[in-house]
Structure 1
């Protein structure tokens, strides 16, 4: 199973799912990550605004930011290789990398109380 790291631009909170109007893409990726973590997948997400050390420690991401700046974020690193720049992975991409069928994590929704399984 792949090791996946998602490097977000600076967001208002750790998930980016906050504020008066929530971006549905951030909700989707937060839910997917939560569900994949529950399945034992080695996946982590880092926010430039609250976890800058993670961006410094990963040489690949550090080099990417030096070359392209924060426009490269979000960046997705799979097994040490940058797979996506400037976009979040689709559910199909996550399924391919993790070998976990996306139907196993798309039956959930984010609410004000957290993520609920359907």
Structure 2
């Protein structure tokens, strides 16, 4: 089974998609990860604020934090191999790595339009 593991910087919740001002990049990656899960990819995500033990137990992550510091987060692993640090992979990169159509990872706007004048 294919997998992606992300070690996120400290955020207010597990995905960072909460609060009054949400970073669109966090929304994009959360959506893409949800869609990857639907395609059978195992997704693990750890937040430095909520899951510090995961950062300490993983020797490679612990060493990266020691040498690069927390500013280098997120650390992204594909199938156990470090792929990126400091940024989340693009939808195109995810699609290429997991051999899926990039359009499957795009967030589509709803086509339903509501006419408030008719209410």
Shift of 1:79: 2.4
Unaligned runs of 5+ in 2: 113-119
Partner of 2:101: 101
Partners of 2:49 and 2:102 in 1: CA distance? 29
Shift of 1:13: 0.6
Q: Which structure has greater strand proportion?
A: 1
SS of residue in 2 equivalent to 1:84: strand
The size of the alignment, in residue pairs, is: 111
Partner of 2:86: 86
SS of residue in 2 equivalent to 1:30: helix
SS of residue in 1 equivalent to 2:69: helix
Unaligned runs of 5+ in 1: 110-115
Deviations 1:64-115 (A, max 9, x none): 0011110110111122222111100000111111112121121456xxxxxx
Contact 2:5/2:76 (CA < 8 Å) preserved in 1? yes
Bigger mean CA offset, 95-104 vs 30-39: 95-104
Normalised to the residue count of structure 2, the TM-score between the two structures is: 0.84
1:58 aligns with 2:58: yes
Normalised to the residue count of structure 1, the TM-score between the two structures is: 0.85
Bigger mean CA offset, 67-76 vs 53-62: 53-62
Task: Specify the structure having the higher radius of gyration (Cα).
Answer: 2
Runs of 4+ in 1 over 4 A off after TM superposition: none
